[in-house]
């Protein structure tokens, strides 16, 4: 990663030469190594180093131009500033993006602790061992068609002509395993698991192997299921993927574009069961690789989206915050059109439920582990969904895998029909969440 101060000085010099008074730059470098294996052999090794900067320039008429480049040496920056300046005369006249009012707010410095990357040979070795253990876990497990072990270093920076300079770095390691069965006269079954940590040494590969094996084996004895209404328990990952599918609910940009299930007037309304609280919390301690500022240099923070079922706030960029007359929330990514997206969900409950529920005692509930085809089965503007899933029919603790079925419903109805939020949170790629119980949903089986 080039030195931020060098980039800042070089940008200032070039801007001065070109007569540019107002500009900002966001950039990142990602250094990535990943490996895949197949039946005891390395299948793919990928190493990449990607850098990119986005330069925004405002002209005297306060319209803005944007350009992106992978070239951050003085020459490349000069060209980027020049191109963005030229583009600025064709920029939008209304709701022109501006600097975030919080781009210069101090952020508590956290240690920039990068972990030394392990050699590729070690990644391959560890993944081969994981594959071997999975194949040995049960005679029916015949392959691990999807797997990956990767490590990544990330550097990010933001600076602007008002004197904002932010930078941060971190390292991540992650493993993904997905195994498949073959048995005479039976359909192939599969399941997967995922783990992430700051470093390879602390990565829980064994936990990932065990979870993948347990889930896969639990799907071997499957049954058809009757179509009907069932009480449903969503796994943390399934609930968060559903929430993610309808994240326009909290997205201020979507609301302004009339592409949301919410309107600006919905704040303060009860939209979910009082048992449900949802934060967007980039700085949650469980968020490995948490980002302390967004693409506009706004510090990230904990944003209360739903509190005890009440819609509390939206996710904002500097531009949407201005139009809503509120503060940006640290959820923006920079570009010609600034987009807004969630950082890291934290789902929990502070309300004492009327009754404690448990999969050990419940009768005939459906436990949905994994929702599929989200891109096709979610109608984000109608609020409806119809999704195939992997899961089990659970009866007093006994799990029977479901051969194939679809769950359908209306997301806003689901939020209102939550009857229990379990206590134990689990870490998933999208956030921290416990199991969520929903009173009744339509399941289409046989």
Express each pLDDT in 325-355 by its tens digit.
Answer: 999 999 999 987 899 999 999 999 999 998 8
| Per-residue pLDDT band at 1 (split at 50, 70, 90) | low
Least Cα distance to 257 among 339, 335, 313, 322 occurs for 339
Q: Which residues contact 7 (CB under 8 A, 6 or more apart)?
A: 25, 27, 72, 77, 157, 159
Which pLDDT does position 73 carry in this prediction?
Answer: 86
From residue 311, how far is each of 83, 247, 379 by CA, in Å?
42, 13, 21
Element (H, E) at 229: strand 228-234
CA 372 to CA 387: how far, in whole Å? Answer: 6
Express each pLDDT in 230-288 by its tens digit.
Answer: 999 999 999 999 999 999 999 999 999 999 999 999 999 999 999 999 999 999 999 99
Query: Do the beta carbons of residue 400 and residue 198 sit within 8 Å?
Result: no
Angle, CA 345 vertex, CA 104 and CA 412 arms, to 5°: 120
pTM of the model: 0.94
Angle, CA 176 vertex, CA 41 and CA 429 arms, to 5°: 165
Which pLDDT does position 323 carry in this prediction?
Answer: 96
Which pLDDT does position 113 carry in this prediction?
Answer: 76
CA 369 to CA 65: how far, in whole Å? Answer: 45
Is pLDDT at 80 greater than 60 in this prediction? yes
Express each pLDDT in 20-71 by its tens digit.
Answer: 999 999 999 999 999 999 999 999 999 999 988 999 999 999 999 999 999 8
Average pLDDT over residues 300-306: 98
Average pLDDT over residues 412-423: 98
pLDDT mean across residues, the chain = 95
| Per-residue pLDDT band at 289 (split at 50, 70, 90) | confident
Strand partners, 47: 33
Helix 205-218 crosses helix 120-137 at what angle (to 10 degrees)? Answer: 30
Query: What are the structure tokens assigned to 279, written together?
Result: 């934060």
| Strand order through the sheet with 41-58 | 64-69, 41-58, 22-38, 141-160, 165-181, 190-197
Least Cα distance to 253 among 158, 343, 328, 346 occurs for 328
Query: What are the structure tokens assigned to 437, written together?
Result: 């119980």
Express each pLDDT in 347-402 by its tens digit.
Answer: 999 999 988 999 999 999 999 999 999 999 999 999 999 999 999 999 999 999 99
Average pLDDT over residues 406-432: 97
Average pLDDT over residues 169-190: 96
Express each pLDDT in 96-140 by its tens digit.
Answer: 999 999 999 999 877 667 899 999 999 999 999 999 999 999 999
Domains of the chain: 120-154+168-220 (3.30.2290.10), 221-445 (no CATH)
């Amino acid at each position: 990663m080039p030195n931020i101060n060098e980039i800042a000085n070089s940008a200032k010099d070039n801007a001065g030469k070109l007569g540019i008074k107002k500009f900002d730059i966001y950039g990142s470098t990602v250094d990535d190594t990943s490996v895949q294996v197949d039946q005891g052999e390395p299948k793919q090794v990928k190493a990449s180093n990607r850098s990119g900067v986005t330069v925004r320039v405002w002209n005297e008429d306060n319209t803005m131009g944007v350009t992106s480049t992978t070239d951050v040496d003085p020459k490349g920056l000069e060209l980027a500033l020049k191109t963005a300046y030229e583009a600025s005369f064709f920029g939008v006249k209304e709701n022109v993006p501006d600097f975030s009012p919080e781009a210069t707010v101090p952020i508590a410095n956290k240690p920039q602790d990068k972990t030394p990357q392990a050699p590729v040979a070690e990644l391959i070795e560890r993944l081969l061992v994981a594959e071997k253990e999975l194949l040995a876990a049960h005679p029916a497990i015949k392959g691990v068609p999807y797997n990956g072990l990767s490590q990544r270093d990330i550097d990010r920076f933001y600076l602007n002509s008002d004197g904002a300079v932010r930078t941060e770095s971190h390292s991540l390691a992650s493993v993904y395993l997905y195994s498949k069965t073959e048995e005479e006269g039976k359909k192939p079954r599969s399941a997967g698991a995922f783990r992430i940590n700051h470093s390879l040494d602390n990565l829980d590969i064994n936990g990932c192997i065990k979870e993948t094996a347990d889930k896969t084996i639990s799907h071997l004895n499957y049954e058809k299921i009757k179509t009907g209404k069932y009480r449903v328990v969503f796994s943390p990952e399934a609930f968060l993927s559903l929430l993610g599918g309808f994240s326009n609910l909290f997205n201020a940009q979507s609301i302004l574009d009339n592409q949301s299930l919410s309107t600006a007037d919905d704040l303060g309304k009860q939209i979910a069961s009082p048992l449900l609280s949802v934060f967007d919390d980039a700085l949650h301690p469980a968020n490995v690789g948490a980002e302390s500022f967004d693409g506009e240099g706004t510090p990230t923070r904990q944003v209360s989206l739903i509190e005890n079922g009440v819609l509390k706030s939206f996710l904002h960029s500097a531009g949407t915050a201005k139009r809503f007359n509120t503060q940006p929330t640290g959820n923006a990514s920079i570009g010609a059109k600034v987009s807004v997206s969630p950082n890291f969900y934290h789902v929990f409950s502070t309300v004492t439920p009327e009754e404690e529920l448990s999969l050990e005692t419940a009768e005939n509930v459906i436990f949905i582990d994994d929702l599929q085809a989200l891109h096709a089965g979610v109608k984000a503007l109608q609020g409806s969904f119809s999704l195939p899933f992997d899961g089990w029919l659970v009866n007093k603790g006994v799990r029977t895998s479901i051969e194939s079925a679809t769950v359908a419903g209306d997301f806003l109805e689901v939020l209102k029909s939550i009857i229990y939020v379990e206590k134990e949170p689990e870490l998933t790629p999208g956030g921290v969440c416990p199991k969520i119980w929903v009173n009744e949903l339509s399941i289409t089986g046989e």
